[in-house]
Structure 1
């Protein structure tokens, strides 16, 4: 059933969310394109109008200059030839000049040259009415007239330049405004992209954490409660399917636990009776036995012990899989090795294997049970797969940040195709196990889990002398470092540097 949290508004499908994200992210960019188009259109229109006005006003100023020259030329020609037609042309050009000057004044408001020209035009309009002597004197008016026309032309050019500068400044302002709008809208688009990316990837990450957490037994749980997936409907449904899968796995895990408990009980109880019976027969409770009968009893007892070890391995595997907490304490690793070797004394004697172990004491902080289990499995494998009459070497090297324990034996090397799968549960390699019973394939898996339980690692390494060598690496904590420094100090004061000759050589 969909939870209340997942019933909040959301796109009905992932496709709808993607399309909505695309539209919303593109919206600021669309606004930016529209505003940029509007600004460009406005600037283009303003530039076009200004350019047209500049052309018209420049042409008008040039026409006024030409008319001024014609008016002066006509007036001076009349003074020479005294023809009435020249005065008529003079009046026409003067009136045309006045009209053009009126239009030019719209550009040059309160311009002194324009005001002066207007006054001179009034004076020049009276020129045809003057007598000959006054006319000759009035021709001197054309000198200031020409200067003011030239000043008007320069003022026109200056006003056009000012207008162009104003247009240029407005263009810069428009450009600056567009840059700010671009920065703001692109930032908005990026933020929206991040928002929708989070909306899309958050449920995916929730599903990923749920999947990764299924194997830990806390798939998607926070404070003991399952956190529902929120997002598009498809991902919500997938989250619910994962919830169902988690419940099924929990049920299967519970069934497995129940099966292992029942199996261990059902197997160990009759096995204990069988071993007790063989012990009674060996003690002669029912009478003396022949040597052949003793041999059969020894075989039965050995097989029973092997079967008990396999059952214990299954229980150990089940215990490690449920993340038992490590109980770190200070240990003498040499003592732990001796304890484990004592358990296999009879098997080592039967195989006639020579055992070489490192000297003690070597103090380190570790989990006693987990470390002993690692050594037990490695020594058992060495006995099961090593050669008869071969060697078993156990070495130790305490470094600044770690302890390295190596268990090596002679015999056939492990095949290359088996090495990547050595620590997988229930994997059976190509090497043949020596003995009546076949292994379960979980010994090395249990050993590797015990190493990881302490923050260490178990690996197969190459050895120059022996065919098979496993290395257990245990990290150092503050206690381990202090113990190591103390041990090194004692060795430097009282003992020479240890060498391979200091190792204990045992023939079992």
Structure 2
């Protein structure tokens, strides 16, 4: 069953508050009704007990007057005394009937019935027999037994008070138990309602927070979807519009960089080819000063070409819309290819190269991984001194493929380790090559590695030089691969 969503977050909050308060209101209402019933029953019980006691005392008083009038009539035979006796008999009968209406225990009820029976017997005898007759004398003697029964009835009415007090105590205990059970039921009910509405209220907030974090990280592929009240849904729609707009801007930026890079490469290629022709002496032999000018042209065109390539790679690395062209990539073969490309630079510095390349295959974008290895190797060669040492290792560590590149250069200071992968950051160490870096190479490496689900770091286990280690997740785990002690990795 789908419930209609409220139009605003405020209404949803108000509904949640009402649902949270509703059980409390129900409990208070139940307690008020129950206590009202208890109060009425208590009032009725007190009234009944007091009335029963009062009626019992009235009955005793009437019986006393009845006995006095009966004895006097039996001796004197006065008609006025007989009339008084008859009037008291009627009062006694009404009082006895009134007392029978109360809830009496069996003992008191039997005593009252016995008292009524004796009084009726005496009344019939005195009204039908001649006064001072033996029957009349015997009848008035029964008043002694009647008086004893009347006192017992009065004592029984006092027990009625005790009984009603016990009933009130039982009712109070019952009310207390009822309130305890209501409280035990009320607390978890309110907790469940509060938790439920907390989840309902926090869900759209979490969705909005997740959408903002996703947009902030540059991920524009996932649509923004927000559930809940209509105003928050509208906010989600605006965030989705912002996502699409940012994606368009990102795509336009990438297109602009590609277009500018292409337009720069075309004249640069012509300039570099012309400089190479001049350097080769195609147009004639060059004197010393002319050759110096040509060398400047060749050097700066190479630098400009490197800058353009870095610009392209940097644009690709920071464009989140770029999709990986995944395929099976042999890391050891890729490293050998890069080493072959860097062969002249390594030979020019007379570097001592050592490799440890295990056959490892990962799933990734081959060109991106080539750029990663090439940038790391270029940096290692560039910062290594002449006749220095250079090492590269490819091996499996647990569920990851690990690539380590170690040089014998000035290394990376502790203060720069956390900034070395930032874009356009250039450390204090100076490269020994002719072409100055742009400070984007390691930033490109980090972005490409993270795009493959891996990470790169500067390790601390080298006495000198720099040691950069990157990890890429393996497609499958090779249980036969040797376990590498990460803290004691030595390639030299």
Distance in 1, Cα, partners of 2:385 & 2:38 = 95
Counterpart in the other structure of 2:251: 254
Distance in 1, Cα, partners of 2:363 & 2:236 = 41
Counterpart in the other structure of 2:114: 116
Closer/same/farther in 2, CA of residues 274 and 122 from structure 1, 3 Å limit: same
Distance in 2, Cα, partners of 1:102 & 1:361 = 114
Q: Deviations over 1:59-93 (max 9, x none)?
A: 4446646776x579859997999999999998887
* 1:279 corresponds to 2:276: yes
2:377 to 353, 376, 379: 379
Distance in 2, Cα, partners of 1:66 & 1:350 = 138
Counterpart in the other structure of 1:3: none
* 1:105 corresponds to 2:108: no
Q: Output the TM-score relative to the length of structure 2.
A: 0.76
* 1:216 corresponds to 2:219: yes
Structure 1's unaligned 5+ residue stretches are 1-7, 222-226, 490-498
Conservation of the 8 A alpha-carbon contact between 2:385 and 2:409: yes
Counterpart in the other structure of 1:161: 163
Q: Output the TM-score relative to the length of structure 1.
A: 0.74
Closer/same/farther in 2, CA of residues 331 and 220 from structure 1, 3 Å limit: closer
Counterpart in the other structure of 1:38: 33
Counterpart in the other structure of 2:304: 307
* 1:405 corresponds to 2:403: yes
Closer/same/farther in 2, CA of residues 102 and 88 from structure 1, 3 Å limit: same
Conservation of the 8 A alpha-carbon contact between 1:282 and 1:297: yes
Distance in 2, Cα, partners of 1:58 & 1:438 = 116
Conservation of the 8 A alpha-carbon contact between 1:317 and 1:442: yes
Closer/same/farther in 2, CA of residues 46 and 132 from structure 1, 3 Å limit: same
- Cα root mean square deviation, aligned: 4.7
**DSSP 3-state at the match of 1:420:** coil
Closer/same/farther in 2, CA of residues 88 and 76 from structure 1, 3 Å limit: closer
Deviation of 1:107 after TM superposition, in Å, equals 0.9
Distance in 1, Cα, partners of 2:429 & 2:489 = 30
Deviation of 1:104 after TM superposition, in Å, equals 0.7
Closer/same/farther in 2, CA of residues 288 and 130 from structure 1, 3 Å limit: farther
Deviation of 1:413 after TM superposition, in Å, equals 4.0
Distance in 1, Cα, partners of 2:264 & 2:376 = 25
Structure number with higher relative contact order (C-alpha < 8 Å, ≥ 6 residues apart): 1
2:265 to 256, 264, 268: 268
Counterpart in the other structure of 2:445: 447
Distance in 1, Cα, partners of 2:489 & 2:212 = 50
Counterpart in the other structure of 2:132: 131
Distance in 2, Cα, partners of 1:46 & 1:78 = 46
Deviation of 1:56 after TM superposition, in Å, equals 2.8
Closer/same/farther in 2, CA of residues 126 and 262 from structure 1, 3 Å limit: same
Q: Deviations over 1:383-426 (max 9, x none)?
A: 33444544333234423322222212233343444333333334
Distance in 2, Cα, partners of 1:300 & 1:348 = 23
Closer/same/farther in 2, CA of residues 376 and 291 from structure 1, 3 Å limit: farther
Distance in 1, Cα, partners of 2:159 & 2:5 = 66
- How do residues 199-214 of structure 1 correspond to structure 2 at under 5 angstroms? 200-214=201-215
Distance in 1, Cα, partners of 2:461 & 2:294 = 39
Distance in 1, Cα, partners of 2:119 & 2:74 = 22
Deviation of 1:171 after TM superposition, in Å, equals 7.7
Conservation of the 8 A alpha-carbon contact between 2:400 and 2:471: yes
Structure 2's unaligned 5+ residue stretches are none
2:148 to 146, 149, 159: 146
Closer/same/farther in 2, CA of residues 75 and 468 from structure 1, 3 Å limit: farther
